[in-house]
Amino acid sequence: MRTAEIRKRWLTFFEENGHTVVPSASVISDDPSILFNIAGMVQFIPYLTGREPAPFARATSVQKCVRTQDIEEVGKTTRHGTFFQMNGNFSFGDYFKAEAIRFAWQLLTHPESAGGLGFDPDRLWATVHHDDAETVDLWLAETSVPRERIQFRGSDDNFWHTGGPGPGGYCSEIYYDRGPGYGVEGGPEADEDRYIEIWNLVFMEFELSAVRSKTDFDIAGDLPAKNIDTGMGLERVAFLKQGVENMYEIDEVFPVLGAASRLSGRTYGAVEVDDVRMRVVADHVRSALVIIGDGVRPANEGRGYILRRLLRRAVRAMRLLGVTEPVLPHLLPLSMEVMKASYPDLETDFERISRVAYAEETAFLRTLESGTQLLAGAVDRVGAGGDISGDIAFALHDTHGFPIDLTLEMAAEHGVSVDEEGFRGLMQEQRERARADAKSKKGGGADLSAYSQLLDEGASEFVGYDGLTSDARIRGLVADGGAVDRAAAGDTLDLVLDVTPFYAEAGGQRADRGIVRGDGFTARVLDVQAPVKGLSAHRIEVLEGELTRGADVFAEVDPDHRFAAAQAHSATHLVHSALRTVLGPHAVQAGSLNQPGYMRFDYAYPDALTPAMRAEIEDAANVAVRDDLAVSYEYLPLDDAKRSGALALFGEKYPSVVRVVDIGGPFSRELCGGTHIGRTSQVGPISLLSEASVGSGTRRVEASVGLDAFRGLARERTILRSLSEMLKVPGTDVPGRVESLLERLKDAERRIAEMGRDRVLAASAEAVASARDLRGVRYSATDLGDVADAGDVRSFVTDVRNRIDASAVVVAAAATVGGKPSVVVAADAGAQARGLRAGDLVKRACGELGGGGGGKPDLAQGGGQDPARIPQALDAIAAVISTS
């Protein structure tokens, strides 16, 4: 049964049983402090915890998830995967244990012909919490599972909670027995390799007052409404239904693994280290496909860094398998083909997805070149047999994107070792810094009870529309999720005021910054968030003195930061209106980001902007700036606001009374809670920087605003003037002149490459004629001198080997490529039968050059440091042959 079919049967079954089918949320978490969604219940957290009323009584979904903490373990075991899909069914105060158990048993055991998954009921086991006897009775009443196949387990396995005070409850897990060939008898308690967990039923029924660990917590009482949250791992069920050994061999993963095997010439299942690398490739290519599909681009931090790491690890793994040319054009389309049945947008948006992935591979291949230079310099300093420091290995990893095993491989080729212990020590320091940084951020699964208690005392009153300062009182201080009474100089924590002029990040607009002062203390406001709706939490750094709960303060927003953010937010409204004017009313907003000097705007539109469209949009927005339109706002009932023509923003949930921002009467009218300038002339110039697709049917424009836009245009003017002077043409002629020069350069490079290739191939006849007999082996050795492309040397040796008519042939060629000696050796089947393997011969030759090398028995390549010793290197091969 194909994975997409299992997915379809899941959704159909629960829809027929009264559940609302909810599409998967993006793998990108809505919480800016969490990189990716890691569980099927993430989008339902507000309903499960009671923070928001659920719009449906029961729901079902298949959620895309990305788990990043186990990336290093991917491939080493068959349990770890980066991207996975979690099937879930949920009840929000509707049904509870009995129905959840009944639904699970029916779907699992009903025959495939009846729409079920067709699992043999005699091979299913259940586990329950050792204090949850009620659930044992329900298993016996609702299913045919016998009592001996129900096992009790502790809280470590069969109790769920958030990690802090709040909801929690017992779990009941369903396991499938794979049979005696996979381990010992005795159920999940005896062997979780044989007995595979396929479904976890969480019965959310308790209110926890304290959580000290996974297994140590206090239950304060029952929740007012009992909820169901279940999860079935789609890939895990797929490999069981498809009769394969693990998730890497299912229909949505194995085709990429098979392609990696074919490209590398390595057989999957033959060598464990190769198997690990092929599994890494299959997992990471699929994960990158989905992550790019949801709008992430490679970067040096956050989600973009995870994506970059996945792509580079995939390319690296293929390199370690012996494939040095670009591989993603072979692998990514295969992954898309097997995934499109479940996610059709991957096919419709594949042109953008592939462009992003291929560009990253190309960039990584370039970093390999720069990193190789750093490594070569280190090799020169330590000499053959030396040890490269952990600092160099860490710089290769952190700056050039070299994974440590790639550094180890390349160092071994040059005959040196690497201080792995020093490298791993630096990596651990980096991880600890990252963990400390992550700990300082608030997450969706964090303990919000301290904030909820403060909200019970009253919401934060925002007065920042009318002024940038206000008197206020400290209502609360929160550090590491808990309420504290005071904070001293050097502390960083959250401050809650009864009244605040500080805008909390919302609607795409970044938060205000500024200062809070009081009697004997000063604190800098770094950020403002709303951890619970209606409450503003100011992230502060105490600069001097001591703050205490209840103290009076004077709060002051940084006026320059606020004005620049307001410029960007108003510019977003102008660009939105200009887009709708040029493209039509269907080009509606799908997300935005506004911060000082910069705006980003996502909108619904199927096609890329032409240069003419882009110019027209930019012009329309700047005409609105020139016209100095008035910016005003009013509060209206939601229905009245909509009738007045006000546009609602993407994904927003509005109260009954809303704020309407009006720019120039009919030019722009939107529901918006952000801050704005007074007239459009204050926005300053708007300069569109880029336009690109960020998902199927969704595109993004980016622009600089105000002084940043002016400075950017001034820099471009200076660059154009410099080019005009260098090329000695007017500025308007610079593009044509550059295009002409590039064509001439390409033509010259092509002719140089052809001349070099012709020279190398011309030497092949002489190499064939000069081959000598060494103990029954025909040996040809050639020094080709300076060569631009090492690939020409490989072509040369294979050509000469094929042209020498003898029972055993070894061909060696050396050349200087980029100032470094390179040696390529080819050995035919007859030579290999004599024990002469190309990989061994090239290592011997490169030893003479102060380097190393390796490869396959029939063709191998290596390098070194001293081109002057090329004759000795070729003679060394002859010596080995002569003694064979």
Residue 773 phi/psi, 5° resolution?
-95, 125
Q: How far apart are CA 35 and CA 29, in angstroms?
A: 6
- What's 854's domain CATH number? 3.10.310.40
CA distances from residue 485 to 201, 477, 492, 493 in whole angstroms, order as listed: 41, 7, 14, 12
Bridge-partner residues for 199, per DSSP?
174
Mean pLDDT by 10 residues, the chain (884 residues): 94 95 86 75 79 87 87 78 93 94 96 94 96 94 96 92 82 95 93 93 90 87 89 94 92 95 94 93 96 84 84 89 92 96 91 88 78 78 79 79 72 81 83 54 56 87 93 93 91 94 92 95 95 91 94 95 95 94 82 90 85 93 94 89 76 74 90 92 93 77 93 90 90 89 86 71 83 92 84 86 91 90 92 91 90 86 90 93 86
Q: How far is it, in rounded angstroms, from Cα 710 to Cα 713? A: 5
20 domain-assigned: yes
SS3 label, residue 415: coil
Residue 73 belongs to domain with CATH number: 3.30.930.10
538 marked ligand binding residue: no
Q: List the CATH number of the domain containing 606.
A: 3.30.980.10
List, in sequence order, every residue forming a beta bridge with 88; answer none if it has no partner: 61
**How buried is residue 210: exposed, middle or buried, by Cβ count under 10 Å (0-12/13-18/19+)?**
exposed
> Is 676 known to sit in a ligand binding site?
yes
Q: Residue 273 burial (CB < 10 Å; 0-12/13-18/19+)?
A: exposed
Q: Is 672 annotated as a binding residue?
A: yes
Is 566 in contact with 464 (CB distance < 8 Å)? no
Last residue of a domain, one of 500, 532, 557: 557
User: Do both 326 and 458 map to the same domain?
Assistant: no
Strand order in the sheet with 598-604: 589-595, 598-604, 698-705, 686-695
- DSSP one-letter string for 835-882: T--HHHHHHHHHHHTT-EEEE-SSEEEEE-S-GGGHHHHHHHHHHHHH
Q: Are residues 58 and 139 in the same domain?
A: yes
Is there a single domain that holds both residue 63 and residue 171? yes
pTM above 0.85, yes or no: no
Q: Which amino acid is at 333?
A: P
Same domain, 99 and 147: yes
Residue 531, in any domain of the structure = yes
- What's the sign of the alpha-carbon dihedral 101, 103, 106, 109? negative
Could you write out the DSSP letters of every residue in 138-184? HHHHHS---GGGEEEE-HHHHEEE-SSSEEEEEEEEEEEE--GGGS-
Looking up residue 495, the CATH number of its domain turns out to be 2.40.30.130
pLDDT at position 137 = 95
Q: What whole-number distance in Å separates Cα of residue 420 and Cα of residue 423? A: 5
Does residue 382 sit within a domain?
yes
Q: Identify whether residues 408 and 464 lie together within a single domain.
A: no
Write the CA distances from 791 to 318, 554, 722, 796, integer angstroms.
19, 70, 38, 9
By three-state DSSP, how is residue 824 classified? strand
Round to whole Å and give the CA distance between 145 and 132.
Answer: 17
505: nearest Cα among 513, 515, 497, 514 = 513
Confirm whether 737 is domain-assigned.
no
Q: Please say whether the beta carbons of 536 and 458 come within 8 A.
A: no
Q: Which residues pair with 729 in a beta bridge?
A: none
Name which of 9, 227, 8 is nearest 118 in CA terms: 9
Kindly report the length of the chain: 884
Residue 108 and residue 125 in contact, taking contact as beta carbons nearer than 8 Å: no
State whether 407 and 467 are in the same domain. Answer: no
738 in any annotated domain: no
Co-location of 294 and 386 in the same domain? yes
**What distance in Å separates the CA atoms of residue 514 and residue 464, rounded to the nearest whole number?**
12
Same domain, 271 and 398: yes
308 is in which domain, residue-wise? 252-427
Considering 659, 691, 714, which residue would you say is the last residue of a domain? 714
Dihedrals φ, ψ of 754, to 5°?
-65, -40
Asked if 377 and 272 sit in the same domain, the reply is yes
110 is in an annotated binding site: no
Distance CA 431, CA 450 (A): 28
Answer whether 578's CB lies under 8 Å from 617's CB. Answer: yes
The domain tally of the chain equals: 5
Same domain, 585 and 673: yes
Tokens linked to 819 = 């100032």
What pLDDT sits at residue 650?
A: 43
Helix (H, G, I), strand (E, B) or coil at 390: helix
DSSP state of 82: S
- Pair 263, 201 in one domain: no
Quick one: 668 and 635 in the same domain?
A: yes
**Is residue 678 assigned to a domain?**
yes
**Does residue 732 sit within a domain?**
no
Distance CA 426, CA 512 (A): 36
748 lies in a domain? no
- For residue 611, give the 3-state DSSP assignment: helix
Q: Which of 199, 214, 243 is the last residue of a domain?
A: 243
The answer to whether residues 479 and 496 touch, using CB atoms and an 8 Å cutoff, is: no
